[in-house]
Amino acid sequence: MNIYVIDVGTSSMRGILYNEKAEVLMKHQIIQRPSYLGDGRVEEDPADWRDGLMELLKVLADFCSGKNLTPDVISLTAQRSSVIPLTEEGEPLAPAIMWQDKRTIIYEEKLKDSQDIIFAKTGSRINPVFSACKMAWIRENQPELYQKAFKLAVIPDYLMRIMTGGFYTDYTYGSRSLLMNLKSCSWDEELLEIFGVDREKLCELIPPAGTAGRLLPSVASAVGLTAGIPVVSAGGDQQCAALGLGILHNGEVEITTGTGAFLLAGIDAIPDAVKPHVICSASAVPGRYLLESSVLTCCSAFDWFLRSFYPECSPSDYSVINQEVSDAKGSPVIALPYFQGRATPDWNSRAEASFHHVSLSASRGDFARAILEGICHEINVNLSIIRGYTGEIRSVRICGGLTKNPIFAQLEADILREPVSLFSNEEATALGAWIQGAMALGLFADYASAFQASRAGDTSRVYTPDEDTRNFYQKKQEDFEALYRKLY
């Protein structure tokens, strides 16, 4: 059986056709970029995703016709909190407000009196990333658009509507909205009232890994596929990454360092005494939950520095900057990596990026290394909080763009004081979506078996903490946290 994974990230859309052994038969990628408009606004034209989806399906159809293959299921995973107003026919009415958009920070103050209620019901405090704040902003600032919108959808909802004709969203996306009761996995009337969002403008909630519908004849004929292929909502990209890295038991942690960084730890139930310095969200595994922390800028910060200060380097050649980062070992420079504010543990949207302990002897390599170290120090702040709920960490598995840099992977081990494992197959999110497709097809009895199958023949490299750096990074971690407290 063949599973076609569609993975919608912040910077690209990808289609990957796998067989029943999780072997890649075909892969196609489309590069995309949101528009950074100033004043913290970040938008994207929904046509990017519509056209990208049709291209991915057309490439799939062409490949399958030439190989006499048939996709047995389409499994969709996507970024989680960007909002698109849609008509009843599923047509966008305005650009998407992207998850990075900061126009909604006003709700941290406006709704602060409801903070405790919101956290108790959703597992998250108010923050500008989640979709409810974007919906509330549309209602207050673009009332005609709000009234005209039949649904206020996130990206996977929009693509699901195109493929199946239905308006569905799964629990993982609902848990990133501040509108879904995390325990009942249903839209909550009190939360809807707090944010002023009408229930009928939200998509129908379904469990992840559930078949949301089948490929419409109109779409199938347009691209050359057979109508009726089951379409599965695999869950949000970070939930799928956790699944693809085998985060199935308490004490297992995954860290994805892409555009932003996300730490996810699996838990059986929502902790009774959980505090708002961590996020609780629905897992891609039905009935389970995740503790989640996030760092808003990772690859985006490092790529900015590369573009700005290493003009001789091409986007595909990091050799010069990597050498200078390596040479900067032991540098005193500290970076607070808040290029778009701070997420967990305190959702400080006022925080800004800054460099400290800078002297006239500092080189650009010192600054580059400080950015990488600063990301790891911020990850460590969040890992310490997660450890307080899970107890001893059983394993830390890493993935994402920055892990392609072996210096960064070693820094994670040194600063976190934990061995970190990096699989040779880096496709964590796509493999998580493959697992969901395989479970929907009934190929495996349980998730553990599906995960083992997805990693058959895969190898992993373990980066262990360098004992010679223990005192240096322990002191730097303390300085990092002290600088943040003094500034904010």
Q: Is 140 helix (H, G, I), strand (E, B) or coil?
A: helix
Spell out, as residue ranges, where the chain has pLDDT lower than 70.
none
Give the residue carrying structure tokens 């519509």: 50
Write out the E strands in 120-244.
Answer: 151-154, 168-170, 180-181, 186-187, 204-206, 211-214, 230-236
- What does the alpha-carbon distance between residue 6 and residue 256 come to, in Å, rounded to a whole number? 19
Q: How far apart are the first and last CA of the chain?
A: 54
* Annotation: CATH topology of 246-423+458-488: Nucleotidyltransferase; domain 5 (3.30.420)
- Cα-based torsion angle of the residue sequence 233, 237, 241, 244 in order, rounded to the nearest 10 degrees: 20
What lies within 8 Å, CB to CB, of 346 at 6+ separation is 277
pTM for the structure as a whole: 0.88
Q: Which helix (H) or strand (E) holds 222?
A: helix 217-223
In this prediction, residue 314 carries a pLDDT of 81
In this prediction, residue 295 carries a pLDDT of 94
In this prediction, residue 134 carries a pLDDT of 97
**Type of residue found at 69:** L
Alpha helices in 347-455 (DSSP H): 364-390, 406-416, 428-440, 447-454
Phi, psi of 339 (to 5 degrees): -70, -20
For the chain, which residues make up each domain, given as ranges? Answer: 3-239, 246-423+458-488
In this prediction, residue 465 carries a pLDDT of 97
Q: Which helix (H) or strand (E) holds 275?
A: none
**Type of residue found at 20:** E
CATH class of the region 3-239: alpha beta
In this prediction, residue 333 carries a pLDDT of 98
Give the residue carrying structure tokens 């549309």: 138
In this prediction, residue 349 carries a pLDDT of 83
The tokens for 198 are 């009408």
Q: Which helix (H) or strand (E) holds 16?
A: strand 12-18
DSSP string, 102-116: -GGGHHHHHTGGGHH
pLDDT 10s digits, 32-75: 989 999 888 999 999 999 999 999 999 999 999 988 899 999 99
- What does the alpha-carbon distance between residue 56 and residue 27 come to, in Å, rounded to a whole number? 9
Alpha helices in 165-263 (DSSP H): 171-174, 189-195, 217-223, 237-244
What lies within 8 Å, CB to CB, of 273 at 6+ separation is none
SS3 string, 44-72, reads ECCHHHHHHHHHHHHHHHHHHHHHCCCCC
**Type of residue found at 194:** I
Which residue, 172, 154, 178, is CA-closest to 233?
A: 172
The tokens for 73 are 């299921």
In this prediction, residue 171 carries a pLDDT of 97
Whether residue 315 is preceded by a cis peptide bond, meaning omega within 30 degrees of 0, is: no
- Cα-based torsion angle of the residue sequence 12, 13, 19, 25 in order, rounded to the nearest 10 degrees: -70
Give the residue carrying structure tokens 């904010």: 488
Phi, psi of 45 (to 5 degrees): -75, 120
Q: How far is CA 267 from CA 273, 288, 292, 391, 486, in A?
A: 14, 6, 11, 11, 34
8 A C-beta contact, residue 179 and residue 197 = yes
- What does the alpha-carbon distance between residue 419 and residue 465 come to, in Å, rounded to a whole number? 6
8 A C-beta contact, residue 393 and residue 418 = yes
Whether residue 345 is preceded by a cis peptide bond, meaning omega within 30 degrees of 0, is: yes
Which residue, 92, 108, 102, is CA-closest to 51?
A: 92
pLDDT 10s digits, 184-202: 999 999 999 999 999 999 9
Q: Which sign, positive or negative, has the C-alpha torsion 382, 432, 436, 297?
A: positive
**Type of residue found at 36:** Y
